[in-house]
Structure 1
């Protein structure tokens, strides 16, 4: 059995913007942050992942968005 080790992970912030809604904990403004993560095995890039995360600007908590259909 072989284990594959990832040598490094880089995360780059692509941008920030104000999101709609308010923080449920402190009623502060919500900010959306777009990031791109690069996983590398030694020198070869394995994958690129784009994510959007939501944060409160007052209490700095990470907020999770739930979609109900």
Structure 2
């Protein structure tokens, strides 16, 4: 019987959750102008998710953040 790969949830989904958080934080500054100062820290989760990833993974994480930003803001 084959054993399943033991990959933790945080290893698999942490970068995706961080990129999504960055997109939503960026969109919230457009929706609620009083939160304008939040834009300065909105990219920190995205930068954390990009470290140590391949070029393809970075592209997909940036695409995720961008879709959530534009989908939420406009």
Choose between structure 1 and 2: higher helix proportion: 2
TM superposition score normalised by structure 1:
0.28
Report 1 or 2 for greater relative contact order, CA contacts < 8 Å, sequence distance ≥ 6.
2
Larger radius of gyration, structure 1 or 2?
1
More strand by share: 1
Instruction: Give the TM-score normalised by the residue count of structure 2.
Output: 0.27
